[in-house]
Chains A and B, each alone.
Chain A
């Protein structure tokens, strides 16, 4: 029950990357991310990815974040094996019915503070698969999604920039609350 109210009450921010940095230079974006991670997450952001019936396109892009070109590890961002270790839950795919339980449990298994990010159009609204009997039409119907990164799939650069925009947003909210 608690979860349902949370799902409804959580503002789902659709990230738009246009207004952030114009540059596509990875080191510039990275520096910004590193700064924000230091400020918001004590310099270490652990991400748990849940593949919720995805086409694997988004995973390809997320994996690309770890390769030697993007190399997000140097900005203090890393992927972890257990939701218990994670600060951020990334959901990809339209959430097929079989993984609804799994996704909810993953969310519950994460210690506070935690944020949920839906990556890709599928995860936002079901995308191509919207309306199918087999899917839940996006992560927002299952877990409280905080941010949504559009794209089908979003390229690694877009994901990075979106993360930056998410951090900016969180930073702004944090200073507001103070």
Chain B
């Protein structure tokens, strides 16, 4: 049976299960409970099958091709699962599995409120289409499943449709994603023009004749198109609005894997399809990565909407992934293939890591939100006493995303650092400067990420409740905790087994067209990762040392102080009456960073004071201060573009008078023009 799933049958089964889940759930949509079980259950089964299938491809390193409806004339339904695709399918189905398990419990609070059939339908469609995106064998097929993915995620974003804001966020997402798709279509058409084929395999083998200029155009269009999906700055504006709007386990999937499909195609284009890589491609990707990571974390710091903050962290982590990929492209163009493997494997490693801990954090946020019914961090506080296990899992997620050893975030960030370090050592002066700036950006980013998660965890789970929202909060249901616990464990395992895992990623990188026969600049065994004989580290040792040292210290301290008592008392606050207002808020926590970076973040501050006597103005009745950040992208980029388009539309309105005679004249003129064109 298991062997059966290793073949293409496994792939078909998994997709079929998702389809069955999607269609079946519509039949049950009258019954909330049944549709919950059917929808999420089918998603779980489909994910498990896809997980087994893709792990087999990854372990045996044998690509698979699946041909459906082979007789079809117009469109060939070919799906190719090579190592890169298998890796992304693995990530998607891993998250699909745990998010669906979590979803079993999470969607309960939609009972009798929203139609669960609709949720289940789009949810299954969403995961299924992502798997197809990662394996589509030709461009047309790709665009179809890409569009299914975009649309189903759009409907998931606006699922809680009774809230005005979600509809708006959905619309923005819809517009942005289709602008991106337009660029993607353009680059695919250029590929077709050069090679005369829609098939990725044919395109790949026939690209060598294309000029560097046309390849660059293709690459830039693909970067913009897929970058919009991935959320690179400045095309990120939809991301912090759309991700929070969706149900939390969907947010986890969107932030965890959907934006990674953008990364998948950027890697596919840069390393597999386009044969020549000028130096500036890598430099550009590196610069985008540096900007996105630093700005992403800065915006996250100044945010106090729980899920939006996590969404900004996705931008940051996409930036880190691009730092790895960009350095790899630079090495590739300089002919240093073994270093290029190092950079790419760092990027791939961070891809799965980010997927795991971001999903974990979103699920944790979902648990908190489902209990407190608010997304505002300022309204939380002290939740660790009410939901200790959720807090523990969230803490692990926080440590992982802050790149603290021994969790997985550290392993991939370390590899990204090594890739950049080697860049500084190996390249010429001008690019060297870029690498130094990238290192600085990554260093500051990781520092600020630690700060941000101290803020989130501290303001959410520690101290005392700050508002009435916390009343009646209790630990979430078992399946939800199981989802989070499993992801926490995966985060630890991916960190501790860094050596084994990075070996796997090296073989994925080598399987790509441009990196064929490269010798990876990394040697690993179970305990040590050795990057280019330049740096070594061992996370199992770090993990073991932390556990052992903490245990020894605990024992020794216990022996010394066992006679001393530990008593409980109120917090010391200089003898005042403690109120929740004395605790630091998340805005207050991040305020100093916002002030320091005010040149970039553009904070605005509005204070209003209401006086008891408007004329005398001696005794203020109440005063309010509003802090917010100006949306610089809207002001300086999107607004001007929008105005320009509107202006052009105004102009073109003149030729549309509504007069039929005039239209007939247009048709006549066009006909004449065409005739002339063909005659001459």
A residues lining the B interface (CB < 8 Å): 82-84, 99, 101-103, 105-106, 108-109, 111-112
Residues of B within 8 A of A101 (CB): 575, 577
Inter-chain contacts of A102 with B (CB < 8 A): 574-576
Could you tell me the distance between the alpha carbons of A103 and B576 in the complex, rounded to whole angstroms?
A: 10
In the complex, which of the residues A84, A105, A111 contacts B575, with contact meaning CB atoms closer than 8 Å? A105
B569 at the interface (CB under 8 A from A): yes
Judge whether B572 is part of the interface by a CB distance below 8 angstroms. yes
Is B621 at the interface (CB under 8 A from chain A)? Answer: no
Chain A contacts of B570 at CB under 8 A? 105, 108-109
CB within 8 Å: A-B pair count: 21
CA distance A83 to B576 in the complex (A): 14
Closest 10 A-B residue pairs measured CB to CB?
A102-B575, A109-B572, A105-B575, A84-B572, A108-B569, A106-B575, A101-B575, A82-B572, A83-B572, A109-B569
Known: A105-B570, A106-B575, A109-B570. 15 other contacts (CB 8 A): A82-B572, A83-B572, A84-B572, A99-B575, A101-B577, A102-B574, A102-B575, A102-B576, A103-B575, A105-B572, A105-B575, A108-B569, A108-B570, A111-B567, A112-B565
Question: DSSP majority for the A interface?
Answer: helix
Nearest residue (CB) in B for A104 is B575
Instruction: State which residues 533-579 of B face A: CB under 8 Å.
Output: 565, 567, 569-570, 572, 574-577
CB proximity of A110 to chain B, nearest CB, Å = 9
Question: Cβ of A83: which chain B residues have Cβ within 8 Å of it?
Answer: 572
State in angstroms the CA–CA spacing of A82 and B570 once bound together. Answer: 14
Measured in the bound complex, the distance between the Cα atoms of B563 and A112 in whole Å is: 12
Complex CA distance for A32 and B567, rounded to whole angstroms: 34
| Interchain CA distance A168-B554 in the complex, whole Å | 36
Nearest neighbor of A111 in chain B, beta-carbon distance: B567
Chain B residues with CB under 8 A of A99: 575
In the complex, what residues of A have CB within 8 A of residue B572's CB? 82-84, 105, 109
Taking the closest CB of chain A, its distance from the CB of B642, in whole angstroms, is 56
Nearest residue, chain B, Cβ from A99? B575
Task: Give Cα A110 to B25, complex, Å.
Answer: 62
In the bound complex, residues from chain A placing their C-beta under 8 Å from that of B576 are: 102
**How far, in whole Å, are A26 and B567 apart by their CA atoms in the complex?**
39
User: Measured between alpha carbons, how far is A99 from B576 in the docked complex, in Å?
Assistant: 9
Nearest CB on A from B405, distance (A) = 31
Interface string of B103-119 (1 = CB under 8 A from A): 00000000000000000
Q: Which residues of A have CB within 8 Å of B575?
A: 99, 101-103, 105-106
Q: How many Å from the CB of B490 to the closest CB on chain A?
A: 40
Complex Cα distance, B574 from A111, in Å, reads: 16
Complex Cα–Cα for A112 and B569 (A): 13
Tell me the bound Cα distance from A103 to B570 in angstroms. Answer: 14
Which residue of B has the minimal Cβ distance to A98? Answer: B575
Instruction: Output the least CB separation between A1 and chain B (Å).
Output: 16
B263 to chain A, nearest CB (A): 49
Residues in A whose Cβ lies below 8 Å from that of B567: 111
Chain B residue at minimum C-beta to C-beta distance from A100: B575
Provide a sorted-by-A list of 21 A–B residue pairs whose CB atoms are within 8 angstroms: A82-B572, A83-B572, A84-B572, A99-B575, A101-B575, A101-B577, A102-B574, A102-B575, A102-B576, A103-B575, A105-B570, A105-B572, A105-B575, A106-B575, A108-B569, A108-B570, A109-B569, A109-B570, A109-B572, A111-B567, A112-B565
Q: Give B577's nearest chain A residue, CB to CB.
A: A101
Q: Which chain B residues border A84 with CB–CB below 8 Å?
A: 572
Query: Which residues of chain B are near A105, meaning CB under 8 Å?
Result: 570, 572, 575
What separation, in Å, do the CA atoms of A119 and B576 have in the docked complex?
23
Give the distance in Å from the alpha carbon of A84 to the alpha carbon of B572 in the complex.
8
In the complex, which residues 360-374 of chain B have their Cβ closer than 8 Å to any Cβ of chain A?
none
Minimal beta-carbon separation of B339 from chain A (angstroms): 52
**Most chain A beta-carbon contacts within 10 A, residue among B565, B572, B576, B577:** B572
Instruction: Give the shortest distance, in Å, between B562 (CB) and chain A (any CB).
Output: 15
Instruction: Select from chain B the residue with minimum beta-carbon distance to A84.
Output: B572
Give chain A residues whose Cβ lies under 8 Å from the Cβ of B574.
102
Q: Which residues of A contact B577 (CB under 8 A)?
A: 101
User: B575's closest neighbor in chain A, by CB?
Assistant: A102
- Please report the C-alpha to C-alpha distance between residue A109 and residue B574 in the assembled complex, in whole angstroms: 10
**Closest CB-CB distance, A36 to chain B, in whole Å?**
22
Q: How far is the CA of A101 from the CA of B572 in the complex (A)?
A: 12
CB distance from A114 to the nearest CB of B (A): 12
CB distance from B577 to the nearest CB of A (A): 8
Give the CA-CA distance A42 to B100 in the complex, in Å. Answer: 59
**B569 contacts across to A, CB distance below 8 A:** 108-109
Which residues on the A side are within 8 Å of B565 (C-beta)? Answer: 112
| Cβ contacts B560-602/A at 8 Å (1 or 0 each) | 0000010101101011110000000000000000000000000
Q: Please give, as numbers and ranges, the residues of chain B lying within 8 Å of A111 by CB-CB distance.
A: 567
